[in-house]
């Protein structure tokens, strides 16, 4: 089994296990997870159209525009956990998560076939994108539960 497949299957296992363990606490954040998946898929389609990146190693060879593992499973889980567990000092928390995820993405691009950058796209673009994304998801959550109840 190639290392790329092992990384993807391990990531899926960890994400699903985390959701199962924290399922009662995360139930309220499912709309954020769904929006995060939609957001990630939409941005991947745009990036694919602009040829910013591609996903050479895929679990499903027929899905060429997105990373199914990342956009459909990992991103929604990360969004739900971030909204649920981020402390009040969100800027530090966002910088920490952004740095970790950008580092993992950089490592994946450099040493595996999971992602390949093109047309001048580089790790610092991902850093900025992740940093903005946390606040988009958080803003949606605050709007959705504006009065304590979903709208």
What's the total number of domains in the chain? 1
Task: Confirm whether 51 is domain-assigned.
Answer: yes
Task: Confirm whether 132 is domain-assigned.
Answer: yes
Q: For residue 81, what are the contacts with CB-CB under 8 A and spacing of at least 6?
A: 18, 22, 26
CB 67 within 8 A of CB 44: yes
What is the pLDDT of the chain when averaged over all its residues?
89
Q: Which domain holds residue 122?
A: 3-144
pLDDT in tens, 5-62: 899 999 999 999 999 999 998 998 999 999 999 999 999 899 989 999 888 888 888 8
Task: Confirm whether 149 is domain-assigned.
Answer: no
Where helices occur in 50-115 by DSSP H, the ranges are 68, 75-85, 90-111
Task: Confirm whether 150 is domain-assigned.
Answer: no
Asked if residue 64 has pLDDT above 80, the reply is no
Whole-angstrom distance, CA of residue 75 vs CA of residue 73: 6
Task: Confirm whether 73 is domain-assigned.
Answer: yes
Look at residue 1 and give its three-state secondary structure.
Answer: coil
Token pair 């050479």: residue: 56
């Amino acid at each position: 089994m190639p290392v790329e497949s092992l990384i993807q299957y391990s990531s899926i296992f960890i994400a699903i296990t985390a959701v199962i363990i924290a399922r009662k606490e995360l139930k309220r954040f499912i709309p954020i997870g769904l929006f995060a998946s939609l957001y990630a898929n939409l941005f991947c389609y745009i990036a694919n159209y602009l040829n910013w990146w591609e996903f050479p190693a895929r679990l499903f060879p027929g899905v060429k525009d997105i990373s199914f593992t990342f956009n459909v499973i990992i991103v929604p889980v990360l969004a739900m956990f971030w909204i649920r567990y981020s402390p009040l000092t969100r800027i530090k928390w966002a910088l920490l998560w952004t740095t970790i995820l950008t580092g993992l993405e950089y490592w994946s691009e450099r040493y595996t076939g999971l992602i390949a950058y093109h047309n001048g796209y580089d790790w610092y673009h991902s850093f900025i994108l992740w940093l903005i994304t946390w606040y988009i998801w958080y803003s949606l959550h605050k709007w959705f539960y504006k009065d304590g109840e979903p709208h």
